[in-house]
Amino acid sequence: MASTLTYDRSGLTSLAVGERGVSDASRASLSASLAAARSAVLDAHTRGDLGFLDLADLDPTPFTSWASTLDPDLTDQVVIGIGGSTLGAFAILETAGPSGAGGLRTHFAENMDPVTFSALVSSLDPATTLLVVITKSGTTVETMSKFWILYARFRDAIGDDVDAHVIAITDPERGSLRPLAMSRGWKTFSVPPNVGGRFSVLTPVGLVPLAAAGFDIAGLLDGARDARDAARDLPVDSNPALQAAADAHILYGQGVSIYVMMAYSDLLSGLVDWFRQLWAESLGKSTDRKGRAVHLGQTPVKALGVVDQHSQAQLYMEGPFDKVVALLEVASFPTDLTVPELDGFPESLSHLVGRGMSEILAAELRGTQLALADAQRPSCLWSFPDLSARSVGAFVMTWEFVTAVVGELWDIDAFDQPGVELGKRIAHGLLGREDLVDFAAGFSLASGEGSSLAIPRSE
């Protein structure tokens, strides 16, 4: 039977990497806990707490129908958000690309960098650009600051027509963006209240800009449904999501505190960025559900093969035994190039003549995998059969389920982010929000003489 995603654990086993690997006994002893963790996730879904599992069943038609009604003069869209509001759609478009004719060119306004944002603003034609603002609360500093800058520029250029160029994606009832959108007549879409930002790519947060870009969202949802049903229904021992959760949990208990995800395709790089937020923000917690101090978390690290074979691999091979490397491969690329035979080609490289780039890339990945095993460093392999929307959807849903299960194994809340909220509140106070000025003033950095050092300019 064809698959949308395959998880190969052979590089994690004790047979491959010795005592630093995951033993059959460790996996067997965790079987009952895995089943209980899955049941806990599914029970929370039944209670209505975890809406991300419902998203695979969404009907794509309302989104594709809406996209088909967009003004034909529109050429671009700017997706304005940060974190979970943009990482997912960016990753999916980077991986599988627009698949429909006439989709809008898509730009993502994420970071608060005045140089790059100014360049983006200057490149846009307000008359042919759609502004998609995404914030559940309506009070996200980075998002709303950039949106108001763009909105003001667009209003100056096209007057009252600006409101027809705005799409607001926000909470269905709460927050400050919803009433603002209603007062100005903006088209709105709702984020389900029971879906957190980093789990929201399959909600309108991701589906609206993807539909406007001409992306195959039906295929994306099909892949997510494949993965959701597999995670929910397959036996524990043959369940990719549950076994991936088990392996991460067991290795973490053995001192593996860093999870490296190494993509062997430029087009998978965005998915690794998306994974980093999901893994770090969901599992990095100071307390468990009983309020006990635990300070748990496995640090996600992004790497790109083959580039980082010449950068980070030395550390992975010979540094501390605190890492697992998850390799991402694409079994079939949509295009390829072959090394030609030309005069002057070095004899020492003659074996490359006639080889495709995809074949060379596959050999590089296999070489890394074998070298890691030889150095007793655990690794695993996630294989995409292709770069289709369906394969990407399966990856997204699989990792959302893996994250939820690990949260259950660790007895933490994988769906909050209290460590992020404090910094936001302090920033609001530093910027003059009246109810938080005194709160922000209560924080300071203790510094002494010599804390700040400078390199002097030469004359």
- The residue ranking higher by pLDDT, 362 or 453, is 362
- Are residues 91 and 57 part of one domain? yes
Contact 434/427 with Cβ under 8 angstroms?
Answer: no
For the question of residue 434 being annotated catalytic, the response is no
The answer as to whether 30 is a domain residue is yes
The answer as to whether 455 is a domain residue is no
State yes or no: cis peptide before 353, omega within 30 of 0: no
For the question of residue 310 being annotated catalytic, the response is yes
- Are residues 244 and 360 part of one domain? yes
- Are residues 197 and 231 part of one domain? no
Biggest CA–CA distance in the chain, Å, is 74
Query: How many Cβ atoms are within 10 Å of 384's Cβ, its own excluded?
Result: 28
Contact 305/329 with Cβ under 8 angstroms?
Answer: no
- Are residues 159 and 253 part of one domain? no
Which pLDDT score is estimated for 428? 82
- Are residues 265 and 143 part of one domain? no
Question: 211 pLDDT exceeds 70?
Answer: yes
Give me the DSSP letters along 312-371: THHHHHHS-S-EEEEEEEES--S---BPPP-TT--GGGGGGTT-BHHHHHHHHHHHHHHH
The answer as to whether 349 is a domain residue is yes
Gyration radius of the chain over CA positions: 24
Place of tokens 């980075």: 142
For the question of residue 424 being annotated catalytic, the response is yes
Instruction: For residue 188, give the nearest of 201, 200, 179, 198 by alpha carbon.
Output: 179
Distance CA 207, CA 180 (A): 22
- Are residues 238 and 205 part of one domain? no
Which pLDDT score is estimated for 459? 77
User: In sequence order, which ranges of 52-113 are alpha helices (DSSP H)?
Assistant: 61-68, 87-96
Which pLDDT score is estimated for 98? 67
Catalytic residue among 173, 310, 347, 351: 310
Catalytic residue among 281, 329, 400, 408: 281
Last residue of one domain, picked from the residues 173, 191, 215: 215
CATH code of residue 82:
3.40.50.10490
- Are residues 248 and 161 part of one domain? no
Distance CA 110, CA 146 (A): 9
The answer as to whether 419 is a domain residue is no
pLDDT band at 380 (very low <50, low <70, confident <90, very high): very high
What would the pLDDT profile of 272-307 be if each residue is shown by its tens digit? 999 999 999 999 999 999 999 999 999 999 999 999
- List the Cα angle 312/316/321 in 5-degree steps: 150
Distance CA 354, CA 55 (A): 45
Contact 135/143 with Cβ under 8 angstroms?
Answer: yes
Record the tokens describing residue 60, joined without a space: 């794509």
Give the list of residues 6+ apart from residue 315 with CB closer than 8 angstroms, or none: none
- Rounded to an integer, the average pLDDT of 314-341 is 96
Give the list of residues 6+ apart from residue 343 with CB closer than 8 angstroms, or none: none
Q: How many CA atoms lie within 13 A of 151 on its CB side?
A: 19
Distance CA 259, CA 244 (A): 12
The answer as to whether 439 is a domain residue is no
Which pLDDT score is estimated for 89? 95
Contact 361/308 with Cβ under 8 angstroms?
Answer: no
Which pLDDT score is estimated for 101? 58
Which pLDDT score is estimated for 3? 77
Distance CA 416, CA 404 (A): 12
Residue at 29: amino acid letter: S
- List the Cα angle 216/221/225 in 5-degree steps: 150
Last residue of one domain, picked from the residues 395, 410, 425: 410
Distance CA 129, CA 209 (A): 13
What would the pLDDT profile of 187-196 be if each residue is shown by its tens digit? 999 999 999 9
Which pLDDT score is estimated for 171? 92
Distance CA 414, CA 281 (A): 8
What's the domain range around 388? 6-43+220-410
Q: Is 302 helix (H, G, I), strand (E, B) or coil?
A: strand
- Are residues 114 and 38 part of one domain? no
- Are residues 396 and 260 part of one domain? yes
- CA 87 vs. chain centroid, Å, equals 5
- Are residues 281 and 157 part of one domain? no
- Are residues 339 and 233 part of one domain? yes
Which pLDDT score is estimated for 56? 97
Residue at 340: amino acid letter: P
Phi, psi of 78 (to 5 degrees): -110, 120
Record the tokens describing residue 362, joined without a space: 């596959």
Q: DSSP assignment, residue 198?
A: G
The answer as to whether 438 is a domain residue is no
Residue at 227: amino acid letter: A
Tally the domains of the chain.
2
The answer as to whether 430 is a domain residue is no
- CA 64 vs. chain centroid, Å, equals 23
Calculate the average pLDDT of the chain. 94
- Are residues 210 and 246 part of one domain? no
- Rounded to an integer, the average pLDDT of 80-109 is 87
